[in-house]
Structure 1
């Protein structure tokens, strides 16, 4: 299954992102509002420079099956930026995906971050200093987070053949590399 292949082959990127964003502090309740602003800013840049390109790279088949209109996150994270009084920054380059499979790999990372973000939002909502924070991006699917992730993985695993795994992995690595470089 491509989802297991991606999980295994992007683990080093995932671990690097957790380290970069001080994720270990979340469960120790030492994560600060500045830490949160850093993670929101980086995810904003990632979405700003990839979401539209990912969605445009996917065929109507995937657009329908994945319910892309329900997975749009850029306007949600823009609300978080505004509520945190953060500036809408940009970088000089958009992320380009050379194929639908690369776009699916990038989407795997974004959807995975939504799954993890739901855990982050729940934990931080119990942390001192986060009482006024709205978790628009990290809480985007609300109680449907698990269902949306499961749906995404099932479609990915069903539609992507083993011959396409390396191309999907390329997209996942591309977006992780971008996320890790924007700080």
Structure 2
């Protein structure tokens, strides 16, 4: 299954992202509002540079299967930017997904961040200093986070054949590298 293949082959990137964002501080309640601003800003840049391209690549075959209209997050994270008094930006980096399989791989990274973000939102809502914070991006699916992730994995695993695993992985790696290197 391609979802397991991706999980195994992107584990180092995932760990690097957790380190970059000081994720361990979330669970020991030392995560600060500045840490949160960094994670929101970086995820915003990731979505700004990838969401439209991913969705346009997937809009034909996968629009209905993946419920694409319900998965758009750029407008939500822009609300978080505004509430945190952070500035929005324009696209400034080249990031390109060459085909539908790379787009699915990139979406795997975004949907995975949403799954983790739900946990982050719950934890931070119980952390001092986060009383007035609205978690538009990290709480985007609310109680539907599990079912949305499950749906995404099912579509990925049923639609992607083994000969396309490397292309899907390529898209995931591209987005992780962008996330880890953009400021």
Q: TM-score, normalised by structure 2?
A: 0.98
Partner Cα separation in structure 2 for residue 176 and residue 165 of structure 1 = 16
C-alpha contact 1:6 1:169 (8 A) present in aligned 2: yes
Which position in structure 2 is the counterpart of 1:55?
Answer: 55
Which position in structure 2 is the counterpart of 1:150?
Answer: 150
Deviation readout 1:110-138 (Å, 9 max, x if unpaired) = 00000000000000000000010000000
Partner Cα separation in structure 2 for residue 59 and residue 161 of structure 1 = 19
Partner Cα separation in structure 2 for residue 169 and residue 59 of structure 1 = 20
Which position in structure 2 is the counterpart of 1:106?
Answer: 106
Partner Cα separation in structure 1 for residue 111 and residue 93 of structure 2 = 22
Which position in structure 1 is the counterpart of 2:136?
Answer: 136
Number of residue-to-residue matches in the alignment = 183
Which position in structure 1 is the counterpart of 2:164?
Answer: 164
Q: TM-score, normalised by structure 1?
A: 0.98
Aligned CA-pair RMSD: 0.8
Partner Cα separation in structure 1 for residue 47 and residue 168 of structure 2 = 18
Structure-to-structure mapping, 1:12-161, within 5 angstroms: 12-161=12-161
Q: 1:87 to 1:182 in 2, by over 3 A?
A: same
The 10-residue stretch of structure 1 (112-121 or 52-61) with the greater mean CA deviation from structure 2: 52-61
Following TM superposition, where does structure 1 have runs of at least 4 consecutive aligned residues deviating by more than 4 angstroms? none
Partner Cα separation in structure 1 for residue 159 and residue 81 of structure 2 = 35
Partner Cα separation in structure 1 for residue 59 and residue 130 of structure 2 = 40
Partner Cα separation in structure 2 for residue 92 and residue 79 of structure 1 = 20
1:91, distance to aligned residue in structure 2 (A) = 4.9
